[in-house]
Amino acid sequence: MKRTLSLISILFLAFIWPAYAYSVENSFPEAEKPSPLEASHSGPVAGMQESFREVFNLYKDSVVFISTEKEVEVRHPFQNDPFFKRFFDGSPAPGKQQQKGLGTGFVLSSDGYICTNHHVVANMDSVKVVLDGKEYDAKILGSDELTDIALLKIDGARGLKPVHLGDSDNVQVGDWAIAIGNPFGLDRTFTVGVISSVSRSEVDHLGNAHIQTDASINPGNSGGPLINLNGEVIGVNRMIYSQNGGNMGIGFAIPINTARAVLSQLKSKGKVEHGYLGVSIRPAAPTEKGPEYGVYVESLDPQGPGKKAGIQPGDWIVRLNGDPIKNFGDLLSRVAAAGPGETVELGLWRDGKTIQTKATLIQRPAPE
């Protein structure tokens, strides 16, 4: 009896299973052709998607991966403590270890000039560039801490694809913004957002203007390009605002017009010459009534050009070479752009009267 039931079961499965398997295989039919939304995406949406793809394909071989190494001294945390120091007397010398870093850069010329951030390569023992799967030793031709721009050169590479530099003065809030870089070491990562602000100077202690974007930028993106929908580089990604180290939709890029001027000097001179007036600025107190615009001088460098030109604490600088000075960023950028050795005409406001004076700028001292 049991054999009969088993035989019946086998015959049942033999005839029924193929039909069941066929029904399962066909329960998920192939995607419809065309897709349900394909027709509706034939206009501006499809065009925008194609533009994003074109930008990536244009720059996927122009954005480079930068890795750095620096030898650092490792000391025991208690080695300098007076109580514990005796336990370390006679012990081996402090150890050394390699500290590694990463960043992004982009190709400026077919023969190997590359732009990145100063802070990516500053004080590093070795800098290597990875491009299209090949690793090159990079030489730092020049690096400017004040603007956070560095110029690298790799040898042995030919036929590289340089980026197209745009005009950051034409950038407007609401424009599309694309970042390509190596966040957390994930090479050629492509993120998209918009321009949130075109001139953020309060994020830099020197008052340098920055482009703000919500395109996702994370550690490792530093030095990479910020690109518009026309495939033009409009900025050099520099930093983010974050409370936890990750992206919060607030990133900042150095305007490409600033970077271009700095890179030109780094290539020709190996350094950047920034003008220096030698004045310290602070916001005026409510009781310190001043002009409609200008910056309030708190103190002066005793050896600086401003002191020699007769500027006094309590003065307001309202004009430089005839142009209005509305904030510290205005003053800093125009003095820096003028360069050392250049004589500028200053309009001062003092005790309700306008005073004209001239100052010959000097080279800005290196940051302490």
Residues above pLDDT 70, as percent of the chain: 78
Q: Of 205, 238, 272, which residue sits at a domain end? A: 272
Confidence band for 27, pLDDT divided at 50, 70 and 90: low
159 vs 227, which has greater pLDDT? 227
**Going by C-beta distance under 8 Å and a sequence separation of 6 or more, which residues neighbour residue 108?**
114, 115, 151, 162, 163, 263
Average pLDDT of the chain is 84
Candidate list 119, 187, 214, 242, residue with the active-site label: 119
Same domain, residue pair 219 and 102: yes
* pLDDT, position 21: 46
Q: Per-residue pLDDT for 263 more than 90? A: yes
Same domain, residue pair 139 and 229: yes
pTM score? 0.75
Closest C-alpha to 211, from 245, 243, 151, 166: 166
Same domain, residue pair 236 and 192: yes
Question: How is residue 165 annotated by DSSP?
Answer: B
Q: Per-residue pLDDT for 102 more than 50? A: yes
Q: Is residue 357 part of a domain?
A: yes
Q: Is residue 35 part of a domain?
A: no
Residue 40 burial class via C-beta count within 10 angstroms: exposed 0-12, middle 13-18, buried 19 and up: exposed
Tell me the average pLDDT across 81-93.
Answer: 55
Same domain, residue pair 342 and 300: yes
Q: Is residue 136 part of a domain?
A: yes
Determine which of 61-65, 86-90, 169-173 has the lowest per-residue pLDDT on average.
Answer: 86-90
In the chain, DSSP finds a helix count (H) and a strand count (E) of: 7, 20
43 vs 276, which has greater pLDDT? 276
Q: In the chain, how long is the greatest CA-to-CA distance?
A: 119
Candidate list 222, 274, 315, 330, residue with the active-site label: 222
Residue ranges making up the domain that contains 184: 47-73+98-272
∠ Cα 294 296 297 (to 5°): 130
Candidate list 144, 148, 204, 315, residue with the active-site label: 148
Closest C-alpha to 236, from 259, 204, 213: 259
Same domain, residue pair 66 and 210: yes
pLDDT in tens, 111-122: 999 999 999 999
| Tally of structural domains, the chain | 2
Any catalytic annotation for residue 27? no
The C-alpha atoms of residue 48 and residue 52 are separated, in whole angstroms, by 6
Tell me the average pLDDT across 213-230.
Answer: 94
Same domain, residue pair 130 and 208: yes
Q: Of 214, 246, 272, which residue sits at a domain end? A: 272
* pLDDT, position 240: 76
CATH code of residue 311: 2.30.42.10
Same domain, residue pair 158 and 236: yes
* pLDDT, position 87: 54
* pLDDT, position 35: 56
Any catalytic annotation for residue 222? yes
